Protein backbone atom coordinates (compact mmCIF):
# COMPACT_ATOMS: atom_id res chain seq x y z
CA UNK A 1 0.00 0.00 0.00
CA UNK A 2 1.42 3.37 -0.98
CA UNK A 3 1.45 6.49 1.15
CA UNK A 4 -1.07 8.22 -1.10
CA UNK A 5 -3.52 5.32 -0.83
CA UNK A 6 -3.15 5.42 2.94
CA UNK A 7 -3.79 9.16 3.05
CA UNK A 8 -6.84 8.92 0.79
CA UNK A 9 -8.11 6.04 2.91
CA UNK A 10 -7.99 8.21 6.01
CA UNK A 11 -9.75 11.08 4.19
CA UNK A 12 -12.54 8.90 2.79
CA UNK A 13 -12.95 7.06 6.07
CA UNK A 14 -13.38 10.35 7.92
CA UNK A 15 -15.88 11.70 5.42
CA UNK A 16 -17.69 8.36 5.49
CA UNK A 17 -18.00 8.54 9.26
CA UNK A 18 -19.53 11.99 8.92
CA UNK A 19 -22.02 10.71 6.34
CA UNK A 20 -22.93 7.80 8.63
CA UNK A 21 -23.57 10.07 11.60
CA UNK A 22 -25.62 12.47 9.47
CA UNK A 23 -27.62 9.66 7.87
CA UNK A 24 -28.43 8.08 11.21
CA UNK A 25 -29.46 11.35 12.87
CA UNK A 26 -31.60 12.44 9.92
CA UNK A 27 -32.89 8.90 9.29
CA UNK A 28 -31.78 9.21 5.67
CA UNK A 29 -30.83 5.95 4.00
CA UNK A 30 -28.73 7.26 1.10
CA UNK A 31 -26.15 9.22 3.15
CA UNK A 32 -25.90 6.30 5.56
CA UNK A 33 -25.19 3.83 2.76
CA UNK A 34 -22.74 6.19 1.07
CA UNK A 35 -20.96 6.60 4.41
CA UNK A 36 -20.65 2.86 4.82
CA UNK A 37 -19.36 2.64 1.26
CA UNK A 38 -16.80 5.38 1.88
CA UNK A 39 -15.56 3.57 4.96
CA UNK A 40 -15.25 0.32 2.98
CA UNK A 41 -13.53 1.79 -0.11
CA UNK A 42 -9.96 1.78 1.31
CA UNK A 43 -10.32 -1.89 2.20
CA UNK A 44 -11.62 -2.90 -1.23
CA UNK A 45 -9.64 -0.69 -3.63
CA UNK A 46 -5.84 -0.66 -3.48
CA UNK A 47 -5.07 1.74 -6.33
CA UNK A 48 -5.04 5.38 -5.18
CA UNK A 49 -6.47 6.76 -8.42
CA UNK A 50 -9.34 4.27 -8.44
CA UNK A 51 -9.95 4.98 -4.75
CA UNK A 52 -10.27 8.71 -5.46
CA UNK A 53 -12.67 8.05 -8.35
CA UNK A 54 -14.93 5.74 -6.35
CA UNK A 55 -14.76 7.97 -3.27
CA UNK A 56 -15.69 11.07 -5.26
CA UNK A 57 -18.68 9.29 -6.76
CA UNK A 58 -19.85 8.12 -3.35
CA UNK A 59 -19.41 11.58 -1.86
CA UNK A 60 -21.41 13.21 -4.67
CA UNK A 61 -24.20 10.62 -4.77
CA UNK A 62 -26.40 12.08 -1.97
CA UNK A 63 -26.33 15.50 -3.62
CA UNK A 64 -27.00 14.27 -7.15
CA UNK A 65 -29.68 11.71 -6.29
CA UNK A 66 -31.30 13.95 -3.69
CA UNK A 67 -32.34 16.56 -6.26
| CA 28 – CA 52 distance, rounded (Å) | 24
Q: Is 19 exposed, middle or buried (0-12, 13-18, 19+ CB in 10 A)?
A: buried
* Domain span including residue 44: 3-65
Contacts of 67 (CB under 8 A, 6+ apart): none
Measured N-to-C along each axis, helices 3-26 and 48-65 cross at an angle, to the nearest 10 degrees, of 20
Number of domains comprising the chain: 1
pLDDT, one tens digit per residue, over 14-31 is: 999 999 999 999 999 999
pLDDT < 50: residue spans in the chain: none
Query: Any residues with CB less than 8 A from the CB of 19 and at least 6 apart, and which?
Result: 31, 32, 34, 35, 38, 59, 62
Question: Is the pTM here over 0.85, yes or no?
Answer: yes
Amino acid sequence: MSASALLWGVVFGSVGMGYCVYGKKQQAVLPLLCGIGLIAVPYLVANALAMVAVGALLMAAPFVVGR
